[in-house]
Chains A and B, each alone.
Chain A
Amino acid sequence: MATPVTMPQLGESVTEGTIARWLKAEGDEIEKDEPLAEVDTDKVNAELPSPVTGKIEKLLISEGATVDVGTEIALVTIAGESQTTEAPPREDEATETPTEEFPAADTEAQPVAAGDGTNQRAVVEARSEEARSDGDGRGEFESAETLKLKRSSPVVRRLAGEHGISIEEVPGTGAGGRVTKKDIEAYVEERETERETPAMAATIAAPGREPERERVPVYEGDRVVKLTSVRRAIANRMSSSKREAPHAWTMVEADVSGLVSLRERDKDEFAEREGIRLTYLPFIVKAVVEGLKMHPVLNSVWDGDRIVLRKRINIGVAVDLEDALIVPVILDADELTILGLARKIDDVVKRARNGQLSPDDVAGGTFTVNNPGALGSVVSVPIINHSQTAIVSAEAVVKRPVAVDDAIAVRSMINLEVSFDHRVMDGGAALRFLNTVKERLEDYGPESVIG
Chain B
Amino acid sequence: MDVKGAQVRHESLGLDEDDLLRIYRHMLLARMVDERSWILNRQGKAAFVISCQGHEGAQVGTAYNLRPGHDYVYPYYRDAGITMLLGQSARDQFLSLLGKKEDPNSAGRQMPGHFSSRELNIVSASAPVGVQYPQAVGTALAFKMRGEDGMVLACGGEASTSSGDWHEAMNFAGIHDLPVVFLVENNVYAISVPEKMQVAGSIAKRAEGYGFPGVEVDGNDVLAVYEAAKEAFDRVRRGDGPSLIEAKTYRLTAHSSDDDDRRYREREEVEEWRLKDPIVRFEKYLEEAGVLDAEKKEEMAAGIKVEIDEAVEYAEGAPYADPEEALERVYAEG
A and B touch in the complex (CB under 8 A): no
Residues of A whose CB lies within 8 Å of any CB of B are: none
